[in-house]
Amino acid sequence: MANNPFTPGIAAGRLPSGALDRNFADLHPPFDRHEALVAADRCYFCHDAPCVTACPTTIDIPLFIRQIATGTPEAAARTIFDQNILGGMCARACPTETLCEEACVREVAEGRPVEIGRLQRFATDTMMARDGHPYARADQTGKRIAVVGAGPAGLACAHRLAMHGHEVVVFDSRQRPGGLNEYGIASYKTVDEFAQAEVEWLLGIGGIKVAQDTRLSDGLDLEALIGDHDAVFLGIGLAGVNALRIEGADLQGVDDAVAFIANLRQAEDLSSLAIGRNVVVVGGGMTAIDAAVQSRLLGAENVAIVYRRGRDRMTASRYEQDLAASKGVRIVTHARPVRVIGDGTVQEVEFEYTRDGASGLEDAGETFRLAADQVFKAIGQTLEGAPDALQIEGGKIKVDESGRTSIPGVWAGGDCASGGDDLTVTAVAEGRDAAEDIHNAILAGKENVNETPRPGNEPG
């Protein structure tokens, strides 16, 4: 284990374990009680608060902050969970700088918003630390609903349905539930196995059965699900990744950023995780940032993110970009990869500079190369495993505002469904709203909603 950041190639244990522990510790350490009181006191209790409008799950932020300020964090947690049962993960993972905190009037006034995310974490952590589950189920309805995908969308949907008294079965193709909460969110945002603890806590409501290792379109088919259940919700996320269609993309060392992050999240021992000395990440979103930052934290010497357009077009927020820069990641913009060079394994990547022309992005006529032992592709995920019968729109399952798909009795939400940003919190909102719609549809007296065609939403 004499490796260090300068060890050539791809190597494990570049940093001593103490350094790794420090690097992967909580990015925003939790507030203690007094810090929470001080932070809560900054909230103005706005009328028709802009922060609430900016929250995809519409949490009553001024109310929960006032509940913290008056010494009742558990009441605050109920206010949060009423709208967002994954309020614990959202408090950690939400890009608050582009959501509630961006809209906060104190951000507008002083450039320093009320720390809504950390306050939310204080409240939810307080409640989750106690035994038991805060919600009780309504009288059993005898209705059964199938949820496919145990990510934030599926879990939020399942919880709301269970609360309304329905029986829910959640099918998921992975080993562990949680979706990208478990396999995607950066480690330093969700330390100490929080994702699993949260799933367990959520399931504490009862009435939800989870079937892992079960894949839709692969042993499980939609027709059968519809037949066996009163409704079906699809929250299968985006399981595929876009391919890098350039010469050398199949060389050893060219990997998916999402897979790299999933491995990292599942690693028992970070010092056993191999990382290149020179790492190049291609892309401009949250995944690119997370892959690059975590590469640095593992001990890679040189890490660069290369994005084909300008900084302002990156979907990663300015805050995320600055975070990457502060960890020593170089961000190169206006460059697209044209070729991966290597002899069996990758050695270099060649890029072409680009510029914004009249008809979109055009080549600037100059190339450069970056040394690379490892290349991570973070150029977008794609829908995979969606049943053919479903109508697709813009690469996603087409849904209306209530999450209804083109097939009666089938709802969808989260990343796999059309509309909304690809965020944990959006997935929660969509799962929750679909559950309400499923509940209302079932309660509308239809013995089997599947047999009730809806005007304008029939299969293609």
Ligand X SMILES: Cc1cc2nc3c(=O)[nH]c(=O)nc-3n(C[C@H](O)[C@H](O)[C@H](O)COP(=O)(O)OP(=O)(O)OC[C@H]3O[C@@H](n4cnc5c(N)ncnc54)[C@H](O)[C@@H]3O)c2cc1C
Kindly give, in sequence order, each residue whose CB lies less than 8 Å from that of residue 235, ignoring residues fewer than 6 positions away: 147, 148, 149, 150, 151, 152, 153, 154, 157, 179, 412, 413, 414, 416, 427, 431
| Closest by CA position to 186, among listed 388, 28, 37 | 28
150 within 8 A of 421, measured Cβ to Cβ: no
Other Cβ atoms within 10 Å of 299 Cβ, number: 25
Question: By the 8 A CB rule, do 287 and 258 touch?
Answer: yes
- Find where tokens 């952590």 sit: 125
Place of tokens 């008294």: 165
Q: How far apart are the first and last CA of the chain?
A: 59
Name which of residues 377 to 396 contact ligand X (CB under 6 A).
385
Write the single-letter amino acid at 255: D
Stretch that binds another protein, among 38-46, 198-206, 211-219, 384-392 (CB under 8 A): 38-46
- The yes or no reply on residue 283 touching ligand X (CB under 6 A) is no
Q: Does residue 245 bind another protein (CB under 8 A)?
A: no
**Angle separating helix axes 152-163 and 424-443, nearest 10 degrees:** 30
Among 24, 26, 75, 106, binds another protein (CB under 8 A): 106
Residue 69 Cβ, how far from ligand SF4 at the closest point, in Å? 10
51 binds, among ligand X, another protein, ligand SF4, none (CB under 5 to 8 A by kind): ligand SF4
Beta bridge partners of 211: 171
Which region, judged by CB under 6 A, interacts with ligand SF4, from 57-65, 209-217, 234-242, 319-327?
A: 57-65
Among positions 43, 257, 298, 303, the unique one binding ligand SF4 when judged by CB under 6 A: 43
Our CB check for ligand SF4 shows the closer of 9 and 50 to be 50
Shortest distance, position 150 Cβ to another protein, whole Å: 39
Residues 315-374 that bind another protein (CB under 8 A): none
Under DSSP, is residue 350 helix (H, G, I), strand (E, B) or coil? strand
Closest approach of Cβ 191 to ligand X, in Å?
A: 13
Using rule CB under 6 A, residue 88 touches ligand X: no
Give the one residue of 153, 329, 407, 435 binding ligand X; rule: CB under 6 A.
153
Q: How far is the CB of 85 from ligand X (least distance, A)?
A: 13
Q: Is 62 in the site for ligand SF4 (CB under 6 A)?
A: yes
Reported as half-sphere exposure (CB side, CA atoms, 13 A), residue 11 has a value of 17
For residue 147, CA distances in Å to 356, 410, 413 come to: 44, 10, 11
Taking CB under 8 A as the criterion, the residue among 108, 138, 197, 364 binding another protein is 108
Please identify which residue in 171, 188, 260, 376 interacts with ligand X, judged by CB under 6 A.
171
Residue 171 corresponds to which amino acid?
F
Q: Residue 114 or 316: which CB sits closer to ligand SF4? A: 114
Task: Among 2, 34, 132, 343, indicate the residue that binds another protein (CB under 8 A).
Answer: 34
Residue 61 binding ligand SF4, by CB under 6 A: yes
Give the nearest distance from C-beta 347 to another protein in angstroms: 54
Interface residue with ligand SF4, options 116, 185, 349, 410 (CB under 6 A)? 116
Is residue 68 within the footprint of ligand SF4 (CB under 6 A)? Answer: no
Closest contact distance (angstroms) between CB of 95 and another protein is 22
Q: DSSP for 362-429? A: EEEEEEEEEE-SEEEEES-EE--S--TTS-EETTEE---TT-B-SSTTEEE-GGGBSSS-SSHHHHHH
Residue 106 lies near ligand SF4 (rule: CB under 6 A): yes
Determine, following the binding rule CB under 8 A, whether residue 72 of this chain makes contact with another protein: no
Interface residues with ligand SF4 (CB under 6 A) are 43-46, 49-51, 61-62, 65, 104-106, 114, 116
